[in-house]
Structure 1
Amino acid sequence: MGNSNACCVAPQGQRGKKKDRSDVYAPEPEVPKEESSANLQHISDREVAEDHEEDPSNHPRASTIFLMKSTAPNGKVLELTSHHRSDGLLVHHSSKKRNNHHINHESPNNLNKKFSSCSTIYIDDSTVSQPNLKNTLKCVALAIYYHIKNRDKEGICKTLDIFDEKFHPLTKDSVPDNYDSIEPEHRHIYRFIRTLFSAAQLTAECAIITLVYLERLLTYAEIDIAPCNWKRIVLGAILLASKVWDDQAVWNVDYCQILRDITVEDMNALERQFLELLQFNINVPSSVYAKYYFDLRSLADANDLIFPVEQLSKERAQRLEATSRACEEKMKEGNKPELKRTVSAENMSPRLSRVVLS
């Protein structure tokens, strides 16, 4: 018990200095990790460059360029003049004056509109999932028309040689000297797009994607769509949209059969440079697609485009409901064969046999 070397006696020695709390809780310096192929960021997760943060073709909340081009400084949507309208494309406003003061301030097209009520619903055959092809092509042509008409005309037109018809003509006919100053009308743009879509059998969704790619090109490449280059820009956008969106993609040689004076090498060069200018960003989110669809509808309504409506019947409502994904899942579940449930002997209820009384 009195031994000084007992284990209960603390050994004599110099006590260490008390550690500072700041040293204890100081974070360790981070060692930069080398990036390998395992932890590389996916291309779809990378941040968009600051120059393209407000690009309407990538962000659903950014306003579309064609809708801003078609809007006057006072906030009202511009309308086509009478000489730019054509029969079958846009509704003509009547020039006759009416005696009624209220009717005089109403558009003739608004007088023919059918409004829905609690008992009757009027709806057209164009939906965001299945747009009407003819009406969609009219709207896209109208959007391109406003792009060309309301472009910046003060400075020099910003374009590239691959899109200029003087360097890459679409026909063998000689290009006029004033080709870069003749602005196309709405019907000319519509007929050019309709010819390509009809011959290639493209869908209405492809037309909306074409407009998305067109505005993305103008934003990324910082060029203008003008009378000298609008045909080749639209052709490149349609070519790319048909390959990305359509299940049965159209080959470049097929477009050479539609435009017989163009070569396959020219189409390949157009597609390659179009992709490079887009920085190979061909992704179109569903929210961006829906935004472009509804903005096209707003543009069509402001310019009195014809959208024929019909009364919603029971058969048509069932057909519209069947196109929704939720209803398709319900139909799949309803078509599954029902499993027969087994009954145990304890829960079996007595059954009476039927007897025929004579």
Structure 2
Amino acid sequence: MGNKHSCCVYPGGRSSGRSSASQKGGGGDNHEDTREESVNNLQHISEREPDDLEQDPSLHPTAGPLFLTRSEQVIENGLIRRRSRSHLDDNKTLKKSSSCSTIFLDDSTVSQPNLKNTIKCVALAICYLIRNRTDNRVLDIFDEKLHPLTKDGVAPDYDRNNPEHRHIYKFVRTLFNAAQLTAECAIITLVYLERLLTYADMDMTPGTWKRIVLGAIILASKVWDDQAVWNVDYCQILKDISVDDMNELERQYLVMIQFNINVPSSVYAKYYFGLRTLAEAYDLTFPAEPLSKERAQRLEAMARTWEDKYAMQVGGGPGRNGVKKWSSLDNVCTYRRSVAILS
């Protein structure tokens, strides 16, 4: 997608439609009819979406992600542990809390997630997708025995033992560090991964998870990043794979997700907060750090920008077609700035 080393097949036969229209020749009416017919034959992306859209977590904002469904027991146990900790003695270590002099903030937000913690959460989600799979339905393109990632091949029991969380994290983190991918790309990777499992009606097994994750990362990096990583670059990261293999993996991935690479913002946010829920249940906390003066200034600048946009909409402007919206005592909106004391 976007470079000579990638492989992307576009549905609908657009090029053939143009050539057939140009070969007809003749009068203008025949040319227009042929062109209209070729355009009408193109299938819109909405027509390729599954009928049970409300059941697809990668498209519907209210459908629960697969990894949360398959880790319900872990989340429930995590809630029980947190409730029991609230009744412990006062001898436990006190949690850092914000005060008038020091403000502690989590450095991971939905728009700018923390890279290391996000990859840990995605690896944990993949771990539970493998452990709690419903069956062992696999496709040959993802089988490591048929398409090994190393020259050494695979062990005889490569498809029997579930991988541990640290092994999945090491594999994903190596790819992200070498390709310099962002945390947002990790969330998109998880969305594509679950979309593949849903559309292709398959499972992620110990013998297929690496190639499934690799295909999702390749696709997510090209869709999300402006400067996408070429398939040949992944051959430099994983020394024993070929460009042709990566091209075929990408092509098959696109076919199986029906070329649907769109990720709505609501779905992205749902997966982000779902990962945080799983992290809290697994005691994988996002560390809170004191708010520095530089970061406070950046947050204030961002807040001021949104305040100005909101004032334009409420007070009249391009967002309201120049019509001013008057406020009453029941809906008074004032802006007040307060000075934070930072240590």
TM-score by length of 1: 0.68
Match 2:253 to one of 274, 297, 304? 274
1:72 maps to 73
1:1-358 correspondence runs (5 A):
43-46=44-47, 48-72=49-73, 76=76, 102-103=87-88, 111-116=93-98, 121-152=103-134, 155=135, 157-323=136-302, 326-327=305-306
| Distance change in 2, residues 1:328/1:226 (3 Å) | farther
1:79-135: CA deviation from partner (whole Å, max 9, x where unpaired) = 9xxxxxxxxxxxxx9xxxxxx9932799x7xx5533446775421111111111001
The alignment covers a number of residue pairs equal to 271
Moved more, 304-313 or 177-186: 304-313
| TM-fit CA distance, 1:251 | 0.4
Q: Does the 8 Å CA contact 1:52/1:219 hold for their aligned counterparts? A: no
In structure 2, relative to structure 1, the CA distance for the partners of 1:294 and 1:37 (3 Å cut) is: same
Gaps of at least 5 residues in structure 1 are 1-34, 80-92, 94-99, 334-358
Cα shift at 1:235: 0.2
Computing the radius of gyration from Cα coordinates, the structure with the larger value is: 1
Q: How far apart in 1 are the matches of 2:77 and 2:185?
A: 25
CA contact (8 A) 2:150 2:240 kept: yes
1: CA distance, partners of 2:43 / 2:103:
47
Cα gap change, 1:289 to 1:77, in 2 (>3 Å): farther
Q: Distance in 2 between matches of 1:168 and 1:37?
A: 39
Percent sequence identity is 66
Q: Tell me if the contact between 1:64 and 1:292 (Cα under 8 Å) persists in the aligned partners.
A: yes
Scaled by the length of structure 2, what TM-score is found? 0.71
Task: Note if contact 1:210-1:241 (Cα within 8 Å) is conserved in structure 2.
Answer: yes
| Greater shift in the superposed pair: 134-143 or 302-311 | 302-311
Q: Secondary structure at the match of 1:284?
A: coil
**CA–CA separation in structure 1 for the residues paired with 2:262 and 2:222:** 12
Tell me the CA shift for residue 150 of structure 1. 1.1
Pairwise CA RMSD: 3.1
Query: In the superposition, relative to structure 1, how do residues 203 and 52 fare at CA in structure 2: closer, same or farther (>3 Å)?
Result: same
Partner secondary structure for residue 123 of structure 1: strand
Aligned counterparts of 1:101 and 1:235: Cα–Cα separation in 2: 41
Q: Please tell me the residue identity of whatever aligns with 2:127.
A: Y
Contact in 1 for aligned 2:143/2:211 (Cα 8 Å): yes
Question: Is the 1:211–1:237 Cα contact (8 Å) retained in structure 2?
Answer: yes
The CA deviation at 1:64 is 0.7
CA–CA distance in structure 2, aligned partners of residues 171 and 328 of structure 1? 54
The 1:101–1:47 alpha-carbon spacing in structure 2 relative to 1, beyond 3 Å, is closer
Q: Which runs of 5+ in 2 are unaligned?
A: 1-35, 313-343
Query: How far apart are 1:46 and its partner, in Å?
Result: 4.2
User: Cα distance, 1:36 vs. partner?
Assistant: 5.5
Preserved CA contact (<8 Å) 2:53 2:60: no
Q: Is the 8 A contact 1:70 1:78 kept in 2?
A: no
